[in-house]
Amino acid sequence: MATEIKSASVARGVDKITHETYYVVKSDDSKNTWHEVRWNNELLAWQCDGEKCVYQHGGMACKHARSVLEVLKIRRARIALAMGGEAPQTVARLQAEEDRKLEAQVERRYTAPLNGNRQFSLLK
């Protein structure tokens, strides 16, 4: 089960050295804590800074990474609307496909067998 996003503030930034885009998400729990969410090319996912994020080890489906995904969804829709024509329908279709993929990925992560495919046995 995913942790609820209460009232996250999300800000977009660009690293002046690497020129990569990243997001910072205000913590619901700690007044002065911001979580940095960056794109991970190996995982092909937005990933939260794991050391500060207590919601999920690896930070890919935590509420901070999901907040960034919600902001990106709105941003894509607004850009598509400004482009006009077929863009809004195309973006909506592609976004729905992405949402299904993400939901399946999260579902697999939460329902994966704890012992792999090995049979359960008591240790002696």
Indicate the domain borders of the chain. 10-111
Q: Are 55 and 66 in contact (CB under 8 A)?
A: no
Amino acid at 30: S
Q: In Å, how far from its chain's centre is CA 42?
A: 15
Top-confidence residue, 43 or 24: 24
pLDDT digits (tens, 9 = 90+) for 5-40: 676 789 999 999 999 999 999 888 778 888 899 988
CB distance 36 to 97 below 8 Å: no
What does the angle CA 73 – CA 100 – CA 94 come to, to the nearest 5 degrees?
50
Please classify residue 48 by burial: count the beta carbons closer than 10 Å to its beta carbon, then call 0-12 exposed, 13-18 middle and 19+ buried: buried
* pTM, full prediction: 0.69
Higher pLDDT, 91 or 29: 91
